[in-house]
Structure 1
Amino acid sequence: MEKYIEALQKCEVFAGVEKKCIEELMRYAKIQRYDSKELVRSRNDECDEMLFLVEGEAFGLFTNPEGHVLQIDHMFAPKLLAAAVIFSTEAKYPVDVETAQPSVFLSIEKDRFVSYMMKNEQLLRNYLRYVSDAFVFITDRFYEITMKNLVQKVCSYLVRLMEEQKSPVVTLDMTKEELSREFGATRPALSRVFVELEKLGIIEMEGKRVKVNDIDYVQDYAEFG
């Protein structure tokens, strides 16, 4: 039990919180052990607990309707899971949680944890900061994924044009507005991709004329998509 208390002390949520408070909370914690590659929680499971990973590591995974698995997070102990959704109106786990190796989790009833936060300002401040950081991480992660997918779509489009026009210098056959609708993206997001590719020296643009300087890069990204 002492090693789990020590693990919680290293968790951001308990930074600067007296050990006595953690020991009191531990009296109400349920210890759950899992082997490697075990499903800990499923997406849309009710989230009415403070779930801490105190030993091992786990993945936050999202499976789309086509069955493709996307890794959203790689979590290492000690860490509080689902911090950003616990107090939402319909609190449910947003992703599947699967262990990467044998791991140990501590589950503390949500209302019990709230009562301790109300009595301990440091714990409350830590939690609010933790939730804010989690929100920023999730926003950045999805932006990264969205932009990556958009780069793949742009590269695939350029490869098609090079094949059709039989040249590394191509003329776009659609406007940026039409392309953004084709790719399911906003026009500013699409424009940022072209700007970034140009900054990297992958392409050169002049109006609707695009010169592909790094054909291998464009083809590799297109195939990856």
Structure 2
Amino acid sequence: MELTGLLQIAPFQGMKEEELVAFLFGSPNSLKCFEPGDVIVRQGNLCKGLYLLASGSVRAGMINDEGKELTVEEMKAPSLLASAFIFATENRFPVNVEAVEPCEVFIIGKERFLEFMHLHPLMMQNFLKDISDRSVFLSKKLNEFALLNLKNRLLKYLETHSVIHNQQEVAQRLGVTRPSLARALSELVNEGKIKK
């Protein structure tokens, strides 16, 4: 695990490495390791503190009662997981978080995190900026799903990723079935908007 990389993300920007070490390794914090496919947290679990992805990568996704899956985001370390929900009135994880590759995750208790932010105002300012940025990200994501039809979402996806390697993964990311995705792809090819 590389601590200098952690100093580049909110809320740790501008902190000294020794301050970060004191914060991360103080009691009652814990460091947990996960293998690919392991569930780090389940949708609906209480968010009891700050979850910090220190190494590896994860997939955050939702699943409904019928088993339909939607990939909300894929994150690489270093990164905060569900930072906007730590201090929420209903502080439950809105997504399942699953390890994509071997991961290390620090879990810092809410009280310790709050106490440390009071001692380090810059940390608090950075954290507030981070959760505000997450709100902007989620607003954009919601806009994509609420206002764009599948073909437009697919075109938007292709703008950023340029190619589809795995239709099932893309279907999960877009919140549709694989046959619906295949049908939309065929229509876009027939309309001349994309090439096969």
TM range (shorter): 0.7 to 0.9
Give me the whole-angstrom Cα distance separating, in 2, the residues matched to 1:120 and 1:11: 15
User: Structure 1-normalised TM-score?
Assistant: 0.64
- Residue of structure 1 equivalent to 2:20: 22
> Relative to 1, partners in 2 of residues 1:216 and 1:26: Cα closer, same or farther, differing over 3 Å?
closer
- Residue of structure 1 equivalent to 2:127: 127
- Residue of structure 1 equivalent to 2:69: 69
How many residue pairs align between the two structures? 156
1:43 aligns with 2:47: no
* Counterpart residue type for residue 124 of structure 1: M
- Residue of structure 2 equivalent to 1:205: none
Per-residue CA shift, 1:130-188, capped at 9, x if unaligned? Answer: 0000111111112112233xx2499xxxxxxxxxxxxxxxxxxxxxxxxxxxxxxxxxx
The answer (yes or no) to whether the contact 1:5–1:26 under 8 Å persists in 2 is no
Give me the whole-angstrom Cα distance separating, in 2, the residues matched to 1:89 and 1:64: 23
> Relative to 1, partners in 2 of residues 1:32 and 1:117: Cα closer, same or farther, differing over 3 Å?
same
Structure 1 residue 4: deviation in Å?
4.5
Give me the whole-angstrom Cα distance separating, in 1, the residues matched to 2:65 and 2:151: 20
- Residue of structure 1 equivalent to 2:9: 11
Give me the whole-angstrom Cα distance separating, in 2, the residues matched to 1:81 and 1:99: 12
The answer (yes or no) to whether the contact 1:31–1:107 under 8 Å persists in 2 is yes
Which aligned pairs between 1:24-173 and structure 2 lie closer than 5 A?
24-28=22-26, 29-148=29-148, 151-152=149-150
Give me the whole-angstrom Cα distance separating, in 2, the residues matched to 1:4 and 1:43: 29
Larger radius of gyration: 1
> What SS does the corresponding residue of 1:111 show, helix, strand or coil?
helix
Query: Structure 1 unaligned runs (5+)?
Result: 155-214, 221-225
> Relative to 1, partners in 2 of residues 1:217 and 1:18: Cα closer, same or farther, differing over 3 Å?
same
The answer (yes or no) to whether the contact 2:151–2:188 under 8 Å persists in 1 is no
Give me the whole-angstrom Cα distance separating, in 2, the residues matched to 1:125 and 1:66: 41
RMSD: 2.1
> What SS does the corresponding residue of 2:46 show, helix, strand or coil?
coil
Q: Which has the higher contact order (CA 8 A, sep 6+)?
A: 2
User: Structure 2-normalised TM-score?
Assistant: 0.73
Identity score, percent = 26
> Relative to 1, partners in 2 of residues 1:69 and 1:115: Cα closer, same or farther, differing over 3 Å?
same
Per-residue CA shift, 1:46-105, capped at 9, x if unaligned? Answer: 101110001000011001222111000111100111111110112111100001111110
Give me the whole-angstrom Cα distance separating, in 2, the residues matched to 1:47 and 1:24: 22
> What SS does the corresponding residue of 2:83 show, helix, strand or coil?
coil
> Relative to 1, partners in 2 of residues 1:25 and 1:85: Cα closer, same or farther, differing over 3 Å?
same
The answer (yes or no) to whether the contact 1:46–1:91 under 8 Å persists in 2 is yes
Structure 1 residue 129: deviation in Å?
0.1
> What SS does the corresponding residue of 2:85 show, helix, strand or coil?
coil
Give me the whole-angstrom Cα distance separating, in 2, the residues matched to 1:11 and 1:153: 35
Structure 1 residue 113: deviation in Å?
0.8
